[in-house]
Amino acid sequence: MEFKDPASYTDLTQGQIKHIDFRIGVNFSTRTLDVEARYEMQEPVRGSLHLDSLKIDLKEAQANGRKLEWEFDAQDEILGERLHLKGLEGDSTFTLVFCTSPEARALQWLNGSQTAGGNYPFLYSQCQAIHARSIFPCQDTPSVRFTYSADVEVPQGLVAVMAAEQVGVQEGDALSVSKRSGQNVFSFKMPQPIPSYLFALAAGNLVFREFGPRTGIYAEPETIEAAAWEFAENELKMVEAEKLLGPYLWGRYDLVVLPPSFPYGGMENPRLTFLTPTAILGTRAYTSLITHELAHAWTGNLVTNATWQDFWLNEGWTTYAETRITEVLEGREVIDLHGVYNEKRLMAVMEQIGIDSPRTCLKLPGDEKDADSFTTIIPYYKGGFFLQECEYAVGRERFDAFIQKYMASFQFQSLTTEAFLDFLKAELPEVFKKVDVHKWIYEPGLPEERHRPKSRLFDDIQKVLNDYQQGIRPTKEQVVGWHRYQILSFLQGLPRQIPVQDCQYFDDLLELEKRNDVAFFYYFYLVCIASGYEGILPRIERFLEKNGRILYVRPIVHAMIETEWSRGYVRPLFERIRDRHHQITVNAIERLLQKAGL
Ligand code: BES
Ligand code: ZN
């Protein structure tokens, strides 16, 4: 069957990339990467090869000593330009020399002032979903995997890291990629085949701290202490993850702490999770984020969704695995609480999008090519609940055996939802008798017939919320010792509009400023905006200036646009802060503003 990924110009009948050797010069003054890339194909290629690219300045293309002709022959605002390499004569290798654009969509270039230390510039990439093409021409679809090596040259004093194995460092005046002195060259290899969206690079004033034999963390010297304490339990997490999912096949598992403009909580780049610094709370209360990114080492990185329409295979499976590992580490009560909270969140988002919208299906409609625009929490939680339902249908023991077999059978492969369902049917046919699989996958909303999460810890919060509806505000004694997810559940459950004095009261009661948890701020600011608490504006502005996490930034901006008193502030604020954010965040906000005619 002909396979097509709507988010890519890849034509698999032309051949597949097998390996790339990169030489990358990181140039902070021009905000560009100067790259030479030698591509190796699975099979010799004749005639044309189409690659995805976005704002790549191609300078030279050659194969086996012959210059190649090329053309950028199809253009699209989202997909970018289709690079058409011509005149391949059964070549298995070719080399491209090019430069990325200062507007490369995957990259954020930061001034020292945007980092924790304040002095050194910082660069990081975010390739998921379809931004790798702005770093190098490639078959930018998760259905193609390749291995790579890279020599990365950065100014002296900076450290380069990649989602790969570090194999060497040449400091200072040593022989360098461009033979320039005063540069450091870091060498990497990625021996396991990855899809393009898992290519990742960062450079900055980074230091390393080890946790255990396989785990450690990179961060700026100013944050390393706190970061190392927060995530010190990672080695233990790996042991639990391996019990559930099988052996870890990537070698090391390290973290790198990025500046707060990073658009995600975490990104599961292989061997090296990219992490928001806002997860460092000083309490270890949000390390489920790491559990999530670590689980992706299997569900996503090892077994990968074939297209972004099958995104739930990555995120739904990861949410399920995260829950299972958290159950071992934190106990049943905690995951029951997560369950109720997640279900409420899921329902709220579905209602917002429209409960009958095809965007609430697990398998997403194929006509959308902007893979970033449909990243909602739906594939996470609906996908996680679906897999839980499958577990209940056959019992944990059999489902656990199925998980291990699934990982082993599809390791280093990409698969569609349909291929997954075929596997499920062959291995666990009873699931289809007890669970309406078709409804879960292909129909919008949530099936009526399902196990509903229940939680005593959540019920306690519901009582407090009910009292508040009757005019009784919770007291300090009541909220002391609340679990982080209880606070989240409380804030999520508040009526959208409350008296301004109550906004101030809850701010003090829950010590929101002191706790400095962006997820708390997120719910709190939504209530403040809707409640007309105008005094909160400077704090929201400071929040948006610094934090780039799409999951929170987008709804806050949306709420400001929807509300009369705050609407006029949004465009000027955005213009003031846009340079401080990654393009993914900028594009998301720009889309909201344009939709609102602002
Ligand atoms: N892979 C995702 C991040 C992502 C999704 C990047 C879609 C680009 C497109 C990552 O694993 C993730 O899900 N991060 C979440 C946190 C998680 C704990 C729910 C996030 O960033 O909010
Ligand atoms: Zn994820």
Q: Give me the tens of pLDDT residue by residue for the chain, a chain 598 residues long.
A: 467 899 999 999 999 999 999 999 999 999 999 999 999 999 999 999 999 999 999 999 999 999 999 999 999 999 999 999 999 999 999 999 999 999 999 999 999 999 999 999 999 999 999 999 999 999 999 999 999 999 999 999 999 999 999 999 998 754 445 555 679 999 999 999 999 999 999 999 999 999 999 999 999 999 999 999 999 999 999 999 999 999 999 999 999 999 999 999 999 999 999 999 999 999 999 999 999 999 999 999 999 999 999 999 999 999 999 999 999 999 999 999 999 999 999 999 999 999 999 999 999 988 777 888 768 999 999 999 999 999 999 999 999 999 999 999 999 999 999 999 999 999 999 999 999 999 999 999 999 999 999 999 999 999 999 999 999 999 999 999 999 999 999 999 999 999 999 999 999 999 999 999 999 999 999 999 999 999 999 999 999 999 999 999 999 999 999 999 999 999 999 999 999 999 999 999 999 999 999 9
Residue 354: per-residue pLDDT: 96
Residue 181: per-residue pLDDT: 63
Residue 176: per-residue pLDDT: 47
- Cα 258 from Cα 313, distance rounded (Å): 27
Beta bridge partners of 136: none
Residues near 575 by beta carbon (within 8 Å), at least 6 away in sequence = none
Residue 474: per-residue pLDDT: 98
> Which residues have CB less than 5 Å away from ligand 2 (the ion)?
315, 318
* CA–centroid distance, residue 286 to ligand 2 (Å): 15
Atom of ligand 1 nearest to the CA of 314: 1
Mutational pocket test of ligand 1: of 264, 290, 317, 345, the residue with most ligand atoms within 8 Å of the beta carbon:
264
- pTM value? 0.97
Alpha helices in 355-498 (DSSP H): 378-394, 396-409, 417-427, 429-434, 437-442, 456-469, 476-479, 484-493
CB 264 near ligand 1, within 6 Å: yes
Residues near 572 by beta carbon (within 8 Å), at least 6 away in sequence = none
- Cα 500 from Cα 567, distance rounded (Å): 19
CB 343 near ligand 1, within 6 Å: no
Residue 128: per-residue pLDDT: 98
Tokens representing 477 are 């004694």
Three-class secondary structure of residue 220 per DSSP: coil
CB 551 near ligand 1, within 6 Å: yes
C-alpha dihedral (386, 432, 325, 290), degrees to nearest 10: -50
* CA–centroid distance, residue 265 to ligand 1 (Å): 6
* CA–centroid distance, residue 377 to ligand 2 (Å): 10
Three-class secondary structure of residue 171 per DSSP: coil
CB 128 near ligand 1, within 6 Å: yes
User: What ligand is nearest to the CA atom of residue 270?
Assistant: 1
* CA–centroid distance, residue 161 to ligand 1 (Å): 20
Cite the active site residues.
293, 380
Atom of ligand 1 nearest to the CA of 289: 18
DSSP 138: B
CB 220 near ligand 1, within 6 Å: no
Atom of ligand 1 nearest to the CA of 263: 21
User: Helix, strand, coil % (nearest 5) of the chain?
Assistant: 45, 25, 35
User: For residue 388, which of 331, 306, 453 has the smallest C-alpha distance?
Assistant: 453
Q: What is the CA radius of gyration of the chain?
A: 24
What is the enclosing helix (H) or strand (E) of 556?
helix 550-562
CB 270 near ligand 1, within 6 Å: no
CB 105 within 8 A of CB 54: yes
User: For residue 485, which of 284, 265, 349, 334 has the smallest C-alpha distance?
Assistant: 334
Cis amide linkage into residue 241, ω under 30° from 0:
no
Tokens representing 544 are 């948006």
CB 294 near ligand 1, within 6 Å: no
DSSP 196: G
C-alpha dihedral (533, 536, 537, 538), degrees to nearest 10: 160
* CA–centroid distance, residue 127 to ligand 1 (Å): 12
In this structure, the number of other CB atoms found within 10 A of the CB of residue 535 comes to 10
Three-class secondary structure of residue 87 per DSSP: strand
